[in-house]
A and B are shown apart, each in its own frame.
Chain A
Amino acid sequence: MITIHDVLAQLLRDVRAEKLRTFLTIFGIVWGTVAISLMLAFGNGLHQHLIVQTAGLGDRIVIAWPGATSIPFQGLGKGRKLRMTDEDVAYIQAQVRELKGICGEYENNLRVEYNAKTISVDTAGVNDVYGSMRNQVPSPGGRFIDALDVRDQRRVAFLGDKLAADIFGTIDPVGKTILVNQSPFLVIGVLKKKAQDSNYNGPDNQKMFIPVTTYRALTGEKYIDDLIFQPPSAADTKKTIDAVRTALAHKLRFDPSDKEALAAWDTTDQFKFFDNFMLAFNTFLGIIGVLTLIVGGIGVSNIMNVVVEERTREIGIKMALGAKQRWILMQFLVETMLVTAIGGAFGFAISIGICSIFPKAAEEFVGHPEVSPAVALLTAAALGLVGLIAGYFPARDAARLDPVVAMKL
């Protein structure tokens, strides 16, 4: 029996013998993989960057405030003031499953002391999801509040950049301890400077954020000031707002159509233009990607074709010595797969290398490129498949010739 070991040994011999053509094929696949991986990496990086830039207030979020009822409901009169607790937020989260994130936000002015300075700071008690929903990106070296901070009721604080400068001047605040209402708090992060064109209760750069559990313990506050939630997509916002209001109406007993009971600010409108722009941008990238694949595919298939033509004589000799057709084809298939795998791996590695040496300064403007393994894999596989198809038929034709004919070519 011919073993897989034989196939591989034979293969390595041939690859070794034909350094140039093997190199060219691998190079073709590497090139295609790098081109497409990098293009999509930078495209996606730019996309994320634009979201952060555009979405100073938050990424397609809805901000809602409990108000007073305006419609009588089940024997309860109108004008009843509604107050929401964390329990109500948890209830909404359980009822409206499609939400990408939800956070009840507490808000008040707390007294912050550091060294000789004492100032009143607009402070929000929030959970960890709030960070990504409201685009609270930390400056390098810091972080936002995480799930453990919330669970363990840690006394940690995340500061707006302007606030941090007011308190600390040029000193790095991360790791320093401040007093909040006379309790010591560790500063864990400072907001990265961002563009925020709209706000409620003041811009984020002047605010301080602490874990929601800590906030409640420190202030004794029971009722949230507002509710932040993120619909599954910008298109579903209206439906999601209605679902949230209906859930809350059930819990707090008010008419689900009572818009004043829960006033909602839909910030997703401004994303309509942005989404259209990104759609056009991604289409553009897609077209370039397809063209790159076609060009790369032509290159790889050309090389494969040449390889088979060159090899026809060798195939003839092998057949004269007793090689069966399937041996010839199997060797070809295994070789193509190996070359594709090597090319894809190199391409992926090179793409990652380029992204990692990409200057941090430039990321300020175009975002952080990140290579997707799936994209690299698919690209290499597509090129390999093209090469396989392009090479398979000539190889099969050669294997179908009478050995004597093949040997004389």
Chain B
Amino acid sequence: MNRNGSIIHMSGIRKVYDTGKVKVEALKGVDLEIRKGEMVAIVGPSGSGKSTLMNLLGCLDTPTAGSYELGGDDVAGVTRDELAEIRNRRVGFVFQNFNLLPHISSQENVEMPMLFGGVPVRERRERARDLLTKVGLGDRVDHKPTELSGGQMQRVAIARALAMDPAIILADEPTGNLDTSSGSDIMSIFNELWKQGRTLVIITHDPALAKRASRVVEIRDGVVMNDHMN
């Protein structure tokens, strides 16, 4: 965490996808600062670059230019393994299509980041069980993703995102594949997490979800068009 309490500090971030013949500039210089305890909704039409921004925020991808500090550490120019470690310890992901491993139980899915983070077996097990109970799936620990509903799968994903107690939760269209009622449940969980003091960044084009955030950042054509508090 740096001087003014910001967890995320991006400046002049550019991302160019080089597909051989065509070069696509998805982000054209983004400056973004997110403080601890904020719940930020990043909105924008498809193709605006908001998914690219999410990938860069989560260190799933590296920017073409610009500087990015996550939790006070400069992320530019670190090795792939260091990036993996940053993702493991600092970021919790919630994806639109859940991205759970299909063949293993909820419990094992939630344990996964802790496995990579070197948490001892016993602690891993207990913590995964606790987290699943907290998202209301205490009775589903041994179920595989295929045996769960969409809303339940997303709750497993949230439990997994919390496993390493990360500084920030990054959610990419978390309600995009869910019906209204399940989506609303997920939003409630996010709100709960926010109230507990966690920092959340949610990419969405769901206005209902955006309204619940403390701050809305609008991306259009690869730049920040609008940034306002709710």
Where the two chains meet, the residues of A that have a C-beta atom closer than 8 Å to any C-beta of B are 1-2, 5-6, 10, 13-14, 16-18, 314, 317-327, 400, 402-404, 407
Contact = CB atoms under 8 A, between A and B. Distances in A.
Given A321-B116, A322-B84, A407-B95, 10 more contacts: A6-B121, A10-B115, A14-B103, A17-B102, A18-B103, A317-B101, A318-B101, A323-B84, A403-B87, A404-B55
B88 interface: yes
B101 A314 contact: yes
B116 A2 contact: yes
Contact of A17 (B93, B99, B104, B118): B104
- How extensive is the interface on chain B, given as a class? 20 to 34
B112 interface: yes
Nearest to B164: A322
Nearest to B112: A321
B73 to A, nearest CB: 15
A401 to B, nearest CB: 10
A-B complex: 8 closest residue pairs judged by Cβ atoms: A322-B88, A17-B103, A322-B116, A404-B60, A321-B113, A324-B81, A404-B55, A324-B84
Interface of B: 55, 58, 60-62, 80-81, 84-85, 87-89, 93, 95, 99-104, 108, 112-113, 115-118, 121, 160, 164
Contacts of B58: 320
Contact of A321 (B88, B102, B118): B88
Nearest to B93: A320
20 contacts: A1-B118, A2-B118, A6-B121, A13-B103, A13-B104, A13-B108, A14-B103, A314-B101, A318-B112, A319-B84, A320-B93, A321-B112, A322-B117, A323-B84, A323-B116, A324-B80, A325-B81, A325-B84, A327-B116, A402-B62
Nearest to B160: A321
Contacts of A317: 99-101
A404 B115 contact: no
What is the interface of chain A mostly: helix, strand, loop, or mixed? Answer: helix
A10 to B, nearest CB: 7
A402 B60 contact: yes
Nearest to B52: A404
A319 B89 CA distance: 13
Contacts of B112: 318, 321
B116 A324 contact: yes
Contacts of A10: 115
Given A2-B116, A13-B103, A13-B104, A404 B61 contact: yes
Contact of B80 (A13, A16, A325): A325
Nearest to B92: A321
A347 to B, nearest CB: 27
A314 B102 CA distance: 9
B144 to A, nearest CB: 9
Given A321-B88, A325-B81, A407 B116 contact: no
Nearest to A19: B103
Nearest to A400: B80
Given A5-B121, A6-B115, A327-B116, A321 B61 contact: no
Name the residue among B100, B115, B117 with the largest chain A CB count within 10 angstroms: B115
Contact of B61 (A1, A5, A402): A402
A404 B87 CA distance: 12
Contacts of A324: 80-81, 84-85, 116
B163 to A, nearest CB: 9
Nearest to A313: B99
Nearest to A404: B60
